[in-house]
Amino acid sequence: MNKIAILYGPTGGNTERAARMIAGAFGELSTELIPVKEAGGKDLSPYLGIIFGGPTVGSNTWADSNQRNDWDLFLTQLHKMNLHGKKCAVFGLGDHVSYSFYFVDDIGVMADRILETGGTLIGSVGPEGYTFDESKAFRDGKFAGLPLDEDNEPEKTEDRINRWVEQLKKEF
């Protein structure tokens, strides 16, 4: 198939909009958009690579264990999927003003799960242009994926996505 799978969730908001922008930057024929709520049993082996994208807020970030979302359910099944030898990238939406100490934490959570499942992580992004205090996604001087802040910096999203996709084209 040689397409890139873009798993995203939730549907109908900023995460889906960002996923569609990423697909557009690759060229629509090069990608397949897959809502994460439909990805649990999907065979990911035919794809050249996989991009995972989601919001920051989830029960794995906050203490409220009753607040489960599509990603919480999918991540419990990820270990059953064959990611060995797969190149994987992550994007995440966050709010660097209200959640400066948790900025795009779920990029770090997803990155850890990808590595635990045998995937190879690509698409790290430097901190230039970002303001935050702490993040589980920030390691060795870079973010483990692409941070986007639609709440405070929506005017930067398109440029950030275009630069990231150009980087990914080289890394995939």
So where are the chain's domains?
4-171
Number of Cβ atoms within 10 Å of the Cβ of 18 = 25
Number of Cβ atoms within 10 Å of the Cβ of 77 = 11
On the CB side of 88, CA atoms within 13 Å amount to 28
15 beta partners: none
**Average pLDDT, rounded, for the chain:** 88
Tell me, what's the pLDDT at 42? Answer: 78
Asked if pLDDT for residue 20 goes beyond 90, the answer is: yes
Residue with tokens 């045998």: 118
Tell me, what's the pLDDT at 64? Answer: 45
**pLDDT band for position 1 (cuts 50, 70, 90):** low
Asked if pLDDT for residue 63 goes beyond 60, the answer is: no
Tell me, what's the pLDDT at 66? Answer: 44
Q: Which CATH architecture has domain 4-171?
A: 3-Layer(aba) Sandwich (3.40)
Mean pLDDT to the nearest integer, 147-161: 96
